[in-house]
Amino acid sequence: MATKLDNYAIISLGGKQYRVREGERLLVDRLKTDEGKTFHPDVLFLGGEGVGRLAPSVQVTAKVVGHVLGDKIRIGKRRPKSGYRRQTGFRAHLSQIEIQSIGAGRRAAAAPEQEGSATKPKQEQAARPAAAEPPRGYADFTVADIAEKSKRWRIEQLEAALKFERSHAKRKGALTALESAIAAKREKES
């Protein structure tokens, strides 16, 4: 069985990608976040235990330990036979960060609830009244998607989607498609 240390994430900071684990410290390009503050970098990949997921919906929490200067880089220019010599140096401005947690956040809190609901008998789930909510991912649907998929939705979902559309998006094509689908469902029932 894999331990928690086997889990890793690939994050993106300042246009660069880093493979990180919990408790790990690394130097990155200077961040605008103050010392001692935490932040959530973009997570590109989550892996571990032989399984990987692209674009996961989990959070990585990182803390800025301090702002430091990198090693000095010496740059020398010279032209032979002319006596031309120039020397300059450079030190990169870096931030040292520590990865505090991988996978904490909304997803981790919702996982126990999902596991518990999966173990309940199907009769208990069926006895519970259906919540009047639009279908999952409705806010991301285009008008064409709504017109096509609304024919398969239940009347409660259609009414919830119509209510959502009137209060949020107010897309004329979506309103028309939902109203016609509701009328067709009611006509079928009677």
Residue 83 has a CB neighbour count (10 Å cut-off) of: 7
Contact indicator for 15, 109 with CB cutoff of 8 Å: no
State the pLDDT at residue 158.
86
The pLDDT value given to residue 71: 94
pTM of the model: 0.49
Q: Which residues of the chain have pLDDT under 50?
A: 1-3, 106-128
What beta strand segments (E) does 80-157 contain?
84-104
Parse the chain into domains and list their residue ranges: 4-105, 132-189
The residue written with tokens 């398969």 in the block is 152
Asked if 63 and 96 count as a contact pair (C-beta separation under 8 A), the reply is no
Contact (Cβ atoms closer than 8 angstroms) between residue 62 and residue 38: yes
